[in-house]
Structure 1
Amino acid sequence: MSITERKREIEQEWSSCISNNNNPLCRANFPPNFLFGVATSAYQVEGACNQGGRGPSTWDAFSHTEGKICDGKDADIAVDQYHRYKEDIDLIAKLGFGAYRFSISWSRIYPDGLGTKVNDEGIAHYNNLINSLLEKGIEPYVTLYHWDLPLHLHESLGGWLNESIVKCFAIYAETCFASFGDRVKKWITINEPLQTAINGYCTGVYAPGKNENPSTEPYLAAHYQLLAHAEAVSIYREKFKEQQGGEIGLVVDCEWAEPLSDNIEDKNAAARRLDFQLGWYLDPIFYGDYPESMQERLGDSLPIFSQKNKDLLRNSVDFVGLNHYTSRFVRQGTDKQNEYYRVQEVERIAECEGEAIGPKAASPWLYIVPWGIQKVLNYIAQRYNNPPIYVTENGMDDEDNDVSPLHEMLDDKLRVSYYKGYLTAVAQAVKDGADVRGYFAWSLLDNFEWQYGYTKRFGLIYVDFKNGLTRHLKSSAYWFVRFLKGGEGKSGKEE
């Protein structure tokens, strides 16, 4: 079946599903207690890399290495949220969001990562940030690890390739629970462990930039991230949960894998693709071990859980966080360029013979496919006995443009369309029975977009990188203002 035929078939099914819901998208499509928030990560927005006692991270070293970031820039200043957090919190409140998902910089709490001496200035900074959020009625959702590993842990231990890192992460997590848990009620241990494993230790396009042993090291890095997660959850539940009353989860990322045809080979390929994304992390937590398809294809390259590991991992989430942006058609095939895909025996297809799975955003991997998020949410609900789910990231990017006038950059009609489509799909998943409890737009602000530097803009708020990092609301921000107030939210600027 061609991509054109398959796309038409899926979109007809999607249109039929949506047309059965006669109400246009509005806040009332979601449960009254459904949470809407915005998200960022420390390295992408904070800056102040040498201030407040912060130690260097792997991303500092990586971004300062020539050729690693496409525009040659770094996040030493980023968008300076370290100093401007009150301004940004005021903007979150103005937009009407009820929560802010941000990450704590591990090396701002323990500069060497080892947990030997806590940095009081780092504790004070996050106390100020959390208190300022609560003063505005905004709930903090805190991620402990969003890729910025303390550099010393990489240089002295080998980072996520050494089991000793599990203890280091546990010490760091316990310090955060003790310091902030009286006010923080939603914790995320690790963001997208898949990306650290594959892009950090297989392709090398993310820090720490390793690609020497792509058939073994990604699986070891993933293994120790899972064990670090489980250890942190165990500490929280044993020492803090009863008194503090919070919840703790893990954030996984997944592009939906839709079989290109009804052939059993393509269906099996799509199932394997999902195993190597979601199952890699959620199967050990819900079922005690890695998916069978991974065990069969990886053999001795896949680490083994001890019984103690399994006991610690089992049910070690109060909720699942899902980061989702895009989808692919999948068929049986071989990718000789990438070891991770080769071993899956899958071919991911976004474009073929001039037809694409959906409109294109700025990033080369990001196609706009709203029906995919409904399928991912329903898949998690069905495979893992309907756990509570938060969509912890969802959004799209524009290309940075030095030529277009500011008013054109602010009028982000495609992003408005993106959010309307994806939120419609999330509402439909809730209607289908998935226990989705919240949604976070990525991102609050244009920021440092990893290997793309400042060439891609994901923000609801435009940051003028050349003129004092001033903030300007985009049309998508105004759309959310109206949507969150209960309106349908037509595209365009606020009148």
Structure 2
Amino acid sequence: MKENFLWGGATAANQFEGGYNEDGKGLSIADVTLGSVHGQPRVIHDDVHGDCLYPSHVASDFYHRYKEDIKLMSEMGFKCYRMSLAWTRIFPDGDEDKANESGLEFYDRIFDELAKYDIEPIVTLFHYEMPLHLVKKYGAWRNKKLIEFSVRYAQTVFERYKHKVRYWITFNEINSLFMEEGSWHSSGVIFNEEDDIGQLQLQIAHYQLLTSAKIVKLGHQINRNFKIGCMVLYPLTYGATCKPVDQLLAMKKINQTYYFLDVHVRGYYSNICEAYWKKMGKGPDFTEDELYELKEETVDFISFSYYFSEIEGQGEFERIKGNISIGGKNPYLPMTKWGWQIDPLGLRISLNQLYDRYQIPLFVVENGLGAEDVLLENGKIHDNYRIEYLKKHIKALLDAIEDDKVNVIGYTVWGCIDLISDSTGEMRKRYGLVYVDKDDNGNGTLRRIRKDSFYWYKELISSNGGILE
């Protein structure tokens, strides 16, 4: 394993930060969204209702506890920390001409604290929390004006942090737009009965891909040392049987992800994209100038989340939901309590598929196990199940690097410190290596407690993966 491999952890502002209305921060779409806790349906409001408990408002309170949390990351030996900026801390409404200085100063403090411990920040610009004002006034990503506002925001933070941040990611899980419940998270759009949903998805995708391309070009102009990547949710898909038609259907499912990656990496709409347009009846509207902009500068690396795999094919088989992706149940795989299929070898396969297709560096920026952890009377949390999950997945990662010669630059375990689940709004679905004393009803001290996995991951990093050899 290369000595400069980026071991670390990952969180997102809307699931971890809290401080939703402090120091001039505006409301984001996450701040008015109630999670589907304990199987209840997700509820989206048009404003904050005083009698509701919104998970993002306090979350894990990183806003006030960042020094303690970063110190814990350092204790584990983190080489990097993948985080996101809250757009509404910097531009509270999203369409202002001038940024909120208090918000910029908050992230200055974060980056300075990380630098103190030699932890490299990996910063995502758009992670499921766009300004609510942009939804109300402009219709969110239905409106091409969002490109202008997004690029202004990116330019502001690039110029502010050009000597503090080297690695950037544009849109989190951009391909979730094509998934059943992804439109609100990724675009702030709720589809109406009169919408041509397929056509609208394609147009939103074009606006976001064009925005990403503009941002990559801009970032490289501001600092040629920036490494700017894209990010997708990678739903590895197997054919339900060895029937050729099932393999074809599995291929078409994964092509929905390649739709985005082809544009990010190759700089043009590929045959896969055009085939998808034909399926939808019509492609997005664009100009020749916009097609040129897609080509000008492409991403430096591909980052992705990997939690599970699924199957696809003809015939009847059980379908299960993992996060916002819905796929077929694989009878050969165990599942988590939340129905996510555990497939460590699938990570190795995914890495090979992506590297073979694109031949640019890869970064696994989300991987982890959501589980109900028990805090014992002696103050211990024995999460051997998480250790086993991470051990098998990271071994598959190392095999892809060492045996298959896949170029992987880093790995960040998701929810390194407990945070709220984006898909459900729960705290009981815990991913962290550090326990946060808080329950689904907002009760608790927010005290941080090291789990057994904390010490295991620390040993893994100190050995640079050597304990798995």
Q: Do the aligned residues in 2 keep the contact of 1:55 with 1:108 (CA within 8 Å)?
A: yes
Aligned to 1:237: 220
Query: Partner amino acid for 1:283?
Result: D
Gapped regions of structure 1 (runs ≥ 5): 1-29, 339-345, 491-495
Task: Identify which of 354, 357, 372 aligns with 1:380.
Answer: 354
Aligned to 1:320: 302
CA distance in 2, matches of 1:175, 1:166: 14
Aligned to 1:20: none
Aligned to 2:33: 62
Q: Secondary structure at the match of 2:78?
A: coil
CA distance in 1, matches of 2:92, 2:303: 28
Task: Identify which of 372, 389, 400 aligns with 1:418.
Answer: 389
Task: Identify which of 271, 292, 300 aligns with 1:311.
Answer: 292
Shift of 1:382: 1.3
Check if 1:259 corresponds to 2:239.
yes
Deviations 1:79-109 (A, max 9, x none): 1101100000000000011001100000100
Gapped regions of structure 2 (runs ≥ 5): 45-51
Shift of 1:306: 3.1
Task: Identify which of 70, 83, 101 aligns with 1:120.
Answer: 101
C-alpha distance 38-377 of structure 1, shift in aligned 2 (>3 A): same
CA distance in 2, matches of 1:131, 1:235: 24
Q: Do the aligned residues in 2 keep the contact of 1:133 with 1:139 (CA within 8 Å)?
A: yes
Shift of 1:299: 2.3
Decide which moves more: 99-108 or 210-219: 210-219
Check if 1:191 corresponds to 2:172.
yes
C-alpha distance 199-81 of structure 1, shift in aligned 2 (>3 A): farther
Aligned to 1:38: 9
TM-score where L is the length of structure 1: 0.83
Shift of 1:226: 1.0
C-alpha distance 408-309 of structure 1, shift in aligned 2 (>3 A): farther
Shift of 1:406: 5.9
Shift of 1:408: 9.1
C-alpha distance 64-274 of structure 1, shift in aligned 2 (>3 A): closer
Shift of 1:196: 4.5
Task: Identify which of 261, 267, 273 aligns with 1:282.
Answer: 261
Check if 1:361 corresponds to 2:336.
yes
Shift of 1:307: 2.9
| 1:331-480 equivalent positions in 2, closer than 5 A | 331-332=313-314, 348-351=327-330, 356-364=331-339, 366-384=340-358, 386-399=359-372, 405=376, 410-430=381-401, 431-454=403-426, 455-465=428-438, 466-480=443-457
Decide which moves more: 102-111 or 61-70: 61-70
Q: Do the aligned residues in 1 keep the contact of 2:303 with 2:364 (CA within 8 Å)?
A: yes
Decide which moves more: 61-70 or 147-156: 61-70
Deviations 1:335-384 (A, max 9, x none): 9999xxxxxxx993215xxxx342222323x1110011111111111112
Q: Do the aligned residues in 1 keep the contact of 2:371 with 2:431 (CA within 8 Å)?
A: yes
| 1:79-228 equivalent positions in 2, closer than 5 A | 79-196=60-177, 198=179, 208=188, 210-212=190-192, 213=195, 214-228=197-211
C-alpha distance 428-69 of structure 1, shift in aligned 2 (>3 A): farther
Q: Do the aligned residues in 1 keep the contact of 2:240 with 2:246 (CA within 8 Å)?
A: yes
The CA RMSD measured in Å over matched residues stands at 2.8
Aligned to 2:48: none
Aligned to 1:18: none
CA distance in 2, matches of 1:441, 1:69: 29
Query: Partner amino acid for 2:334?
Result: P
C-alpha distance 119-197 of structure 1, shift in aligned 2 (>3 A): farther
CA distance in 2, matches of 1:57, 1:376: 33
CA distance in 2, matches of 1:333, 1:72: 42
CA distance in 1, matches of 2:186, 2:53: 14
CA distance in 1, matches of 2:352, 2:35: 41
Task: Identify which of 233, 236, 248 aligns with 2:228.
Answer: 248
CA distance in 2, matches of 1:357, 1:311: 46
TM-score where L is the length of structure 2: 0.87
Q: Secondary structure at the match of 1:51?
A: coil
C-alpha distance 69-446 of structure 1, shift in aligned 2 (>3 A): farther
Q: How many residues get paired?
A: 440
Query: Partner amino acid for 2:150?
Result: F
Deviations 1:185-204 (A, max 9, x none): 111111111225535565x6
Q: Do the aligned residues in 1 keep the contact of 2:317 with 2:328 (CA within 8 Å)?
A: no
